[in-house]
Amino acid sequence: MKTRRPLLAGVFLASIAVILGLAIWFFWPSTIADQGGSQSKQSVSREAQDLLLRAQYLSVRTTDADSKIAIALLENAIALAPGFARAHAELASAYVTRLAYVTPDETRELEEKAFAAAEKALSIDPDVPEAYLARGDLLWTHSQRFAHERAVQEFRRALALNPQSDQTHRRLARVFVHLGFFEEARSHADLALTINPSNAQALNSRAQAILWSGKDEESLAILLSIPGPVLPELVDANTVFALHRLGRDDEAWSHLRQALAKSGNDPSGNLRGVEALLVAESEPRRALELIAGVRKRTTANPSHHAAYFAASALARMGRAEEAVAWLQEAASTGFPCYSLFERDPNLDPIRRDPRFQTFMAEMQKSSASLRRALFPDSR
């Protein structure tokens, strides 16, 4: 019995230590671990953490109201915890979301704020993955000429710090789908959705990869499931595009009318562009009027899709020179999607035109070069 008392006492003391440790963890402000595994330099209250989580939930939404709320939540988190690296980094991305999808007319001011917030995050913790996401976001905008390769480098840097980040995987999916690398886009979108099934931007990238691969029916089911506050005009335009390619024009018109009623002035031009595609052959004059309206769109990120819809409509009308000019605009403003251009039947009427063939030869060369740069180990 004498030999057991020290042992029992040790077990008792260890139990007390565990209980005290749990109590301190629960009641004391925690030092939040960044997703990459390192820790912020300052203790962060649970209130600040909660504000960050609420902002992250809104981060995939692209409406004016959601953007404002996300920024306010993050600014409040930083006011509570000035050394909260992840909050600074998420704020940088929130600024980019606003300039890219909501207020492109405020690009310069928001770019400066985004850059400063990302650098602040890195000055607090150089291993915070979200800061590299913000850097990549900033590179993948109109003003930065959609620097695909450099944006991917930043996203991969974030991924190395946290391989289980759905936000990183969904960003890589977004870039790859615009480049026409559909297999890679789907792979990253699927990983993002496995980690976080509610990541609606990953769902959108998955739908686009499937749609532009020519699987219209499969993509349509996904497009119809995407929540309204996520890229609403683009999702609606792609839904109409899929219905039209399936020959379901009555449904395409019905969906378009509902979308137009919701969208107001269609700032990115996607709804006008896809409407031009619907009337290209039956009402060519109306189609040209709509395309003229597309020219007046804002420079929000999704506006390169409107350029593609305009090109498709002009191709259906046999206007090769104008169609190629719009395709060149789409490619130079973030949508050099050779794999789509190569297979979309909407472009079939101009495939024998020398101007289109020259454009496609250039696109093929550019696509191959980008693939080698982004996937050097692939054969």
pLDDT of 73: 98
**Six token digits for residue 302:** 């999704």
* Spatial distance between the Cα atoms of 93 and 114, rounded to a whole number of angstroms: 7
Secondary element (H or E) of residue 24: helix 4-27
pTM, 2 dp: 0.88
- Cα 144 from chain centre: 16
CATH topology agreement for domains 164-225 and 231-372: yes
Give me the residue spans of the domains in the chain: 45-162, 164-225, 231-372
**Six token digits for residue 156:** 């991969």
Q: Are 81 and 87 in contact (CB under 8 A)?
A: yes
The CATH code of domain 45-162 reads 1.25.40.10
The Cα angle at residue 328 between residues 325 and 332, in degrees rounded to 5: 145
For residue 120, give the 3-state DSSP assignment. helix
Q: At what angle do helices 249-263 and 270-279 cross, to 10 degrees?
A: 150
- CA dist 29 → 23, 48, 81, 127, 146 (Å): 11, 10, 11, 22, 41
**Six token digits for residue 112:** 């400066």
CATH T-level fold of 164-225:
1.25.40
Cβ-Cβ contacts under 8 Å for 274 (sequence gap 6 or more): 237, 240, 241, 244, 256, 309
- Cα dihedral 263, 267, 268, 273 in deg (nearest 10): 70
Cβ-Cβ contacts under 8 Å for 269 (sequence gap 6 or more): 293, 294, 296, 297, 298, 303, 306
Q: Are 267 and 297 in contact (CB under 8 A)?
A: yes
pLDDT of 43: 78
For residue 44, give the 3-state DSSP assignment. strand
- Cα 359 from chain centre: 27
Q: Are 136 and 171 in contact (CB under 8 A)?
A: yes
For residue 332, give the 3-state DSSP assignment. helix
* Spatial distance between the Cα atoms of 314 and 308, rounded to a whole number of angstroms: 10
- DSSP string covering 279-320: HTTT-HHHHHHHHHHHTT----TTHHHHHHHHHHHHHHTT-H
Q: How many CA atoms lie within 13 A of 6 on its CB side?
A: 2
Q: CB 63: neighbour CB atoms within 10 A?
A: 16
Phi, psi of 343 (to 5 degrees): -115, -15
- The CATH-assigned architecture of domain 231-372 is Alpha Horseshoe (1.25)
pLDDT of 379: 61
Q: How many CA atoms lie within 13 A of 327 on its CB side?
A: 29
Q: CB 293: neighbour CB atoms within 10 A?
A: 18
Per residue of the chain (379 residues), give pLDDT as tens.
444 444 334 434 444 443 334 333 333 333 344 343 333 445 799 999 999 999 999 998 999 999 999 999 999 999 999 999 999 999 999 999 999 999 999 999 999 999 999 999 999 999 999 999 999 999 999 999 999 999 999 999 999 999 999 999 999 999 999 999 999 999 999 999 999 999 999 999 999 999 999 999 999 999 999 998 999 999 999 999 999 999 999 999 999 999 999 987 899 999 999 999 999 999 999 999 999 999 999 878 899 999 999 999 999 999 999 999 999 999 999 999 999 999 999 999 999 999 999 999 999 999 999 999 999 987 6
* Spatial distance between the Cα atoms of 173 and 303, rounded to a whole number of angstroms: 18
* Spatial distance between the Cα atoms of 45 and 68, rounded to a whole number of angstroms: 23
pLDDT of 250: 98
